[in-house]
Amino acid sequence: MQITHNASLKSYNTFGISAKARAFISVTDIEMLKEALHLEAYPEKFILGGGSNMLLKSDVQALVIHVALKGIKTVKETADNIWLEVAGGENWHEFVMYCVNHGYGGVENMALIPGNVGTAPVQNIGAYGVELKDHFYSCSAIHRTTLEQRTFSLKDCCFGYRDSVFKNELKDQYVITSVTFQLDKNKHELHTGYGAIQQVLNEKKINYPSIKDIAQAVIAIRSSKLPDPKKLGNSGSFFKNPVVPKTIFETIQQKYPEMPFYPVSEAEVKIPAGWLIEQAGFKGKRFGDAGVHKNQALVLVNYGDATGNEIWDLALRIQKEVHQQFGIEIQPEVNIIE
C-alpha cells in the first residue's frame, strides 16, 4: 500500500484550502480499504470522499483514506425500473449524466452537485425539489473498526433534510462503499415545480420536457448562481436553511413582508439562509481571500489563498450578524474539520 506523507489536500477539497495530511492513501478496492482501516500505525482515520462538503481548519493528523472505488453495475431490471449499484468513489455529477444519457429518471434535478456518490447519503443531498432519498434503495458500508460489512435500507438511513443516521447515531462509524439507486425507465414523474426550472423550460419553449431537458435546465440555473469549484473554491451551501417556529417567522414577516419562505409543517417554516445573509449585508463581500458569493449569499468562497480559519471567521461573523438582526441561529451545513 502506497502511503504518502505530508500530502497536500488542496486538490482534494473543493474549497481549495491548502491543508496537509500527515499521511494519505487512496483506496481503489474494498480489500485495500479494509487494510487501510486496520493500519495500527495510524490510530486515527479520516475518510475523504469528494471533499465537497468540508472546511479544513488545519492540517489533518489522522491517516486520510481517500475512497476511490469505481464502477456502476446493474443489479436488477424490470419493464419500468432499473437498480444501479454505484461505487462510492464515483463522481456524483458524472453518475447523474450517466442516468440522463441512458434515459433513467430520478436524479436529474441533482445535476452538478459537487462530491462523490459514497458521501451523498451522509447529508441526503438535494436540489430543486428532489433529494437523494427519493431514489435511494440501499447502501453498503464497512464498519471502521470491526470491518463488518452492512447493508442499509432506506428506513435504516433515517433520512431528513440534509440529514441521516450517518450524521447522528452512526457518525464516523462507517465508510459507504456503494449506493444502490432505484431509477425509472418508464412512467417517470418529472419535478419542474421548484425554483426556476419551469421558467427556463418556458424560455426555451419546451412544452414536453425530457429527463435531459430537466438536467440541462438545472445545469443552466446552477451555473448562473453557483460558482464552479474548479474556478472559485467553495463548498456549495455553507449554511443550512433554518427551520423556525411559525410565531417567530410571523414576527419577522411583519417587518420584512417580502421574505421568501417554505412551510415545513403546521408549526414550522423554513427560511432561506441566503436571504438572511443578504439582508445582513454580506452578499458579494470579500475579506482578504475569504468571501460571500455575489450571486448566492449562502455560498462562501475562497478567492485563492484563504485559510480554513479565515473562512471560518467569516462564517462566525455572518452567524453573529444574522442572529443580531433576526434572532435566528444559522448552522453550518459543511463539516468543520478541526
Helices H / strands E in the chain, number of each:
7, 20
User: What is the DSSP code string of 181-247?
Assistant: EEEESSSPPP---STTHHHHHHHTT-SS--HHHHHHHHHHHHHHHS--TTTSEEEEESBPPPEEEHH
Q: Establish whether 150 is a catalytic residue.
A: no
How many C-beta neighbours within 10 Å does residue 142 have?
Answer: 18
Q: Of these, 30, 36, 65, 127, which contacts ligand EPU (CB under 6 A)?
A: 127
Q: Establish whether 94 is a catalytic residue.
A: no
Please report whether residue 14 would count as binding ligand EPU according to CB under 6 A: no
Rounded to the nearest whole angstrom, what is the least distance from the CB of residue 291 to ligand EPU in the complex?
13
Q: Of these, 195, 253, 313, 323, which contacts ligand EPU (CB under 6 A)?
A: 195
Contact between 159 and 167 (Cβ < 8 Å): no
- The residue whose Cβ lies closest to ligand EPU is 236
Q: Of these, 105, 227, 236, 291, which contacts ligand EPU (CB under 6 A)?
A: 236
- Among 162, 164, 235, 310, the active-site one is 162
Rounded to the nearest whole angstrom, what is the least distance from the CB of residue 186 to ligand EPU in the complex?
26
Angle at 115 between CA 26 and CA 275, to 5 degrees: 145
Residue closer to ligand EPU (CB basis): 42 or 128: 128
Q: Establish whether 144 is a catalytic residue.
A: no
Hey, what amino acid is at 268?
E
Residue closer to ligand EPU (CB basis): 275 or 326: 275
Please report whether residue 93 would count as binding ligand EPU according to CB under 6 A: no
Residue closer to ligand EPU (CB basis): 13 or 296: 296
**Contact region with ligand EPU (CB under 6 A), list: 17-25, 132-140, 152-160, 236-244:** 236-244
Extract the runs of DSSP E, i.e. beta strands, from the chain.
4-8, 20-27, 45-48, 54-56, 60-67, 72-77, 81-87, 126-127, 130-131, 136-143, 149-153, 174-184, 233-237, 243-245, 262-263, 268-270, 286-287, 290-292, 299-302, 335-337
Rounded to the nearest whole angstrom, what is the least distance from the CB of residue 145 to ligand EPU in the complex?
30
How many C-beta neighbours within 10 Å does residue 11 have?
Answer: 8
User: What is the DSSP code string of 23-49?
Assistant: EEEEE-SHHHHHHHHT-TT---EEEES
Q: Of these, 14, 182, 241, 302, which contacts ligand EPU (CB under 6 A)?
A: 241
The 10 Å CB-count burial string (b at 16+, else e) for 255-287 is eeeebebeeeeeeebbbbbbbbbbbbebbebee
Please report whether residue 128 would count as binding ligand EPU according to CB under 6 A: yes
Please report whether residue 82 would count as binding ligand EPU according to CB under 6 A: no
Rounded to the nearest whole angstrom, what is the least distance from the CB of residue 78 to ligand EPU in the complex?
30
Rounded to the nearest whole angstrom, what is the least distance from the CB of residue 69 to ligand EPU in the complex?
23
**Contact region with ligand EPU (CB under 6 A), list: 6-14, 201-209, 269-277, 311-319:** 269-277
Contact between 178 and 86 (Cβ < 8 Å): yes
**Contact region with ligand EPU (CB under 6 A), list: 42-50, 73-81, 202-210, 293-301:** 293-301
Q: Of these, 275, 290, 301, 332, which contacts ligand EPU (CB under 6 A)?
A: 275
Please report whether residue 327 would count as binding ligand EPU according to CB under 6 A: no
Cell of 141: 458500508
Hey, what amino acid is at 336?
I
Please report whether residue 164 would count as binding ligand EPU according to CB under 6 A: no
- The catalytic residue positions are 162, 237, 333
Q: Rule CB under 6 A: which residues touch ligand EPU?
A: 127-128, 195, 225-226, 236-237, 240-241, 260, 272, 274-275, 278, 283, 296-298, 333
